[in-house]
Amino acid sequence: MLFLALPISVLAYYGTRYGYEAFNESAWGVRFFAFAISYLVFPILTWWFLGESMFTVKTLLCVALSFFIILVQLYM
């Protein structure tokens, strides 16, 4: 934890900074985009590490909603 804390914090800072600039200085845009990306990654990681199926109706609907959140943030 101690070894990775500083590099991850610096990367999070720069990721937020560049996202803030890319979304026309909208903190909500960065927040929603980060949430949607994290939810797209989570089902894949739970399938890989825990063996849980990511092909349930609930999970697939949430993944689809995450795609829609990303599209809204990028194109509106």
How many domains does one find in the chain?
1
* pLDDT of 23 higher than 90: no
Higher pLDDT, 23 or 61: 61
Measured between alpha carbons, how far is 47 from 42 in angstroms, rounded to an integer? Answer: 9
pLDDT tens-digit profile of 34-73?
899 999 899 999 999 999 998 999 999 999 999 999 999 8
Structural domain range at position 48: 2-75
* pLDDT of 29 higher than 90: no
For residue 59, give both structure tokens.
């999970």
Measured between alpha carbons, how far is 65 from 63 in angstroms, rounded to an integer? Answer: 5
Catalogue the long-range contacts made by 56-65 (C-beta closer than 8 Å, 24 or more residues apart).
63/39
Question: Residue 55 — φ and ψ, nearest 5°?
Answer: -110, 40
